[in-house]
Amino acid sequence: MTDTATGGTTRKSLTGTLQLDTRLLGMIGAFVAICLVFHLMTGQRFLTPRNIFTLTIQTASVAIMATGMVFVIVTRHIDLSVGSLLAVCSAVMALVQVWVMPQLLGLGIGHPATAPLAIVTGLVVGTAVGAFNGWLIGYLAIPSFIVTLGGLLVWRNVAWYLTSGQTLGPLDPNFQLFGGINGTIGVTASWVVGVLAVAVSLWFMWSARQKKAGHGFTVKPLWAEGVMMAIVAGLILGFVAILNAYQVPVARLERIFAARGDVLPEGYTEGYGLPISVLVLIAIAVAMTVVARRTRFGRYIFATGGNPEAAALSGINTKLLTVKIFALMGALCALSAVVASARAANHANDIGTLDELRVIAAAVIGGTALSGGVGTIYGAILGALIMQSLQSGMAMVGVESPFQNIVVGSVLVLAVLIDIIYRKRSGALK
């Protein structure tokens, strides 16, 4: 009895010393368990470099939108239109690539201006639609559920009319670089990015420690800080190593060398490295985390979500804040449209279907409270990864699509229940 109590105290003190988020640890544990179970069920095919590479590029689109959904839900709103808005942005960008540039402007496929112009156009459309949603919600006081539910129907069908119900493609080759398999940076560049990411991460951790110490807050012991730094460095470099281990097929290498007028050397191999879409996700995750933690805009978001009335009385323009949040959500939908349509190499009418549910589920599973005021960017990304792992794993073992949706829906309800129980026990809910 004494040993059990002592062991429990030791574990608790170790967690407290390392200042680890117990809820995050639970999510990581669930993710690891899911991966191990599917790895065994698929004959050890789930945790291979090839499948992990595929999993990351499949997760990127939903995870990008999930980072914005955190801000929306934190402020006690919801956005049901993100999948339809993604479809509109995809349709607009596809029209720029297959109609505006070649037919109106006479610029052939692969022109260096095509992809940038298409992306900028999509960002403008997404931001404008998002800002319009925010204006309806913030200034006209229409509930976000109604505005975005209407948007789900409106924008999906606007996308259909823009393309006359047709699939548009193939998309510009430079645009397709954002899709994943057609756009990677190679092994050497991936190691460079990995080392730089480790250096930046360790610098942020050390500067945060120095700032806390400078303000008189309790900091971890140096050994604990070193352990956390080693874990972060190991995760980053391990992730890079796994993706670098995924080899380009010989047939594809032969085509690449043949296009150059060369012959593939015997025994030559090459890894894919980091996909550009994953680099986009990482950049957005870092930027959104900085916004949430280091900017006035981020502080206003969490203050408004914690107590909207008090935030308004303190001088925060909550109406304008709502417009900004939904405009940001729209811009992120446009970026997700880039990744999703580039991965498919065309625009299809069903692109983004049910993404609104996946995005909301990712944010909620990642710890964003539907009651507002609480949420993290990294939690939403981990939630998206858990969702995609479940779906990919079930697909690999032959589970039918309807049952996959049943499982995902059940996991969402269970995640909310666990969150409620956790917050009650921690005193966050009364």
Q: Same domain, yes or no, for 104 and 199?
A: no
How is residue 48 annotated by DSSP? S
Quick check: is 117 in a domain? Answer: yes
- Structure confidence at residue 17 (pLDDT): 65
For residue 420, CA distances in Å to 82, 362, 423 come to: 26, 16, 5
- The span from the CA of 384 to the CA of 65, in Å, is 10
Quick check: is 118 in a domain? Answer: yes
- Structure confidence at residue 6 (pLDDT): 42
Walk along the chain (430 residues) in steps of 10 and give the mean pLDDT of each run. Answer: 42 60 80 91 91 93 96 96 96 93 78 92 97 97 96 95 91 91 90 94 88 82 86 93 91 83 83 94 94 93 93 93 97 96 92 91 89 89 92 90 84 79 66
Q: Same domain, yes or no, for 368 and 250?
A: no
Domain tally for the chain? 2
CATH number of the domain that residue 176 is part of: 1.10.3470
**Residue 249 lies in domain:** 184-272
- Structure confidence at residue 268 (pLDDT): 82
Phi, psi of 271 (to 5 degrees): -95, 155
- The span from the CA of 201 to the CA of 311, in Å, is 33
pTM: 0.90
Of 244, 272, 300, the domain-final residue: 272
Q: Same domain, yes or no, for 174 and 197?
A: no
Contacts made by residues 14-18, CB under 8 angstroms, sequence distance 24+? 17/220, 17/221, 17/224, 18/220, 18/224, 18/227, 18/228
Closest among 363, 385, 387 to 375, alpha carbons compared? 363
- Structure confidence at residue 49 (pLDDT): 93
- Structure confidence at residue 131 (pLDDT): 97
- Structure confidence at residue 19 (pLDDT): 66
Q: Same domain, yes or no, for 333 and 282?
A: yes
Of 255, 272, 289, the domain-final residue: 272
Quick check: is 14 in a domain? Answer: no
- Structure confidence at residue 408 (pLDDT): 81
- Work out the number of other CB atoms within 10 angstroms of the CB of residue 17: 13
Taking the chain, what is the end-to-end CA distance rounded to the nearest angstrom?
32
